[in-house]
Amino acid sequence: SFHADELERKVRLLIETYNAEVDRWARRGTEVTAVDEFVLNDDKRIKWSRDLKLDLQRGHHAVFDQSKIRRSLYRPFCRQYLFFDRILNEEVYVMPSIFPTPESEQENEVIWLKVGTEWPMFALMSNTIVDLLPQGGSQCFPFYTYAEDGTGRRENITDWALARCQAHYGDPAISKRDLFHYVYAVLHAPDYRTRYAANLRRDLPRIPWVPAAAWAAYTAAGAALAALHRDFAQVAPYPLGREETPGVPFTWRVDDKGMRLSPDGTRLRVNAALTLTGLPPAAAAYRLGSRSALDWVIDQIRPHSDPRSGLRHDPTDPADPQAAVRLVEQVIAVALATLAQVAALPPLVAAP
């Protein structure tokens, strides 16, 4: 959900319905009943999954806890609120050891990596829980890992890996954070992605050593890219023009038609009353998989209703009606800054 209060309302209804079904299952007596035929089929109250049915059969009750409402990155540059819970999430995988508490988001960060045959590889830094992603899923490489209660923080880069890096470059001052940022920069290097394109569609990346003279540039670029992508919501927006439609009452709300780019990529329809102008076509070159960063955002910032559940998905925040337009401007700024950082990276291999 885009809104925490909306998420709470929906989750409380889901928990109430689910727990009632758990109790009803426990009271069924000795009668043998197939769970698929037993459970309440009401899409307006609950949607059953394989694991949720297993939890019902095991007698596991769900509990609402305000602290479980967490920030998440559902799609690139698209944050939503998530009720982070082992029963109500189909799979949590190892996320409880990466971002176990809201406090861990203040110190940890993760390289969210998309690899697979259907999409070109991309990497994005985040300091929140991230989604698995469709088309083959994704993998995460955090700087820290924790016990699930948030204690026991430990670095995810081994001492052996750091020592090898220090020995290779003859510099004992290199830190694990430097190495983490170096990896992030290499994952963005155009010649790396081109040279290993076939491998990156089927395997996890193998990170090469760059020439010694390029090490500092890569670590600095990786740190800059990490901050840019992790903190995209704090980036100064790119200044776009505002074109209002005469005779149409002004609003910032994205309507049900959604945002639409013009064929030349320089104009973006927000609603019937507002069009953003002056979009730089160059921003489309920053791509994450098969889409540009802006395309990811446009795809998510669109209201729609689910015909089965009747639930309404509306990204407009009544308390901050300009948020959607501001995000578009921030993502454009991030795209241009990313392209500049990537263009300045030295070659992976030293010139002969």
Give residue-wise pLDDT tens across range 216-244.
Answer: 999 999 999 999 999 999 999 999 999 99
Local structure of 266: helix, strand or coil: coil
- Between 343 and 132, the higher pLDDT residue: 343
Helix (H) or strand (E) holding 19: helix 4-26
Kindly state the average pLDDT of the residues 310-326: 88
Per-residue pLDDT, 351: 62
Beta bridge partners of 49: none
Average predicted confidence (pLDDT) for the chain: 94
The CA R_g of the chain, rounded to the nearest whole Å, is 23
Per-residue pLDDT, 87: 97
Is 277's pLDDT higher than 70?
Answer: yes
Is 62's pLDDT higher than 90?
Answer: yes
Per-residue pLDDT, 201: 84
Kindly state the average pLDDT of the residues 106-132: 92
Q: Distances from the Cα of 225 to the Cαs of 30, 111, 114, in angstroms?
A: 60, 11, 17
The whole-angstrom separation of Cα 233 and Cα 323 is 10
Per-residue pLDDT, 304: 85
- Give percent above pLDDT 90 in the chain: 82
Is 89's pLDDT higher than 80?
Answer: yes
CB of 335 closer than 8 Å to CB of 77: no
Per-residue pLDDT, 352: 58
Confidence at 3, pLDDT banded by 50, 70, 90: confident
- Between 6 and 225, the higher pLDDT residue: 225
Is 189's pLDDT higher than 80?
Answer: yes
> Residue 246 corresponds to which tokens in the numbers above?
């005469």
Confidence at 275, pLDDT banded by 50, 70, 90: very high
Is 93's pLDDT higher than 80?
Answer: yes
Residue with token string 């690899």: 115
Per-residue pLDDT, 123: 96
Per-residue pLDDT, 192: 95
Kindly state the average pLDDT of the residues 176-199: 95
Is 181's pLDDT higher than 70?
Answer: yes
* Residue at 239: amino acid letter: P
Question: 325-328: long-range contacts at Cβ-Cβ below 8 A with a sequence spacing of 24 or more?
Answer: 325/240, 325/252, 325/270, 325/274, 325/276, 326/237, 327/77, 327/233, 327/297, 327/301, 328/240, 328/259, 328/268, 328/276, 328/294, 328/297, 328/298, 328/301
Least confident among 167-181, 231-245, 296-310: 296-310
Per-residue pLDDT, 35: 93
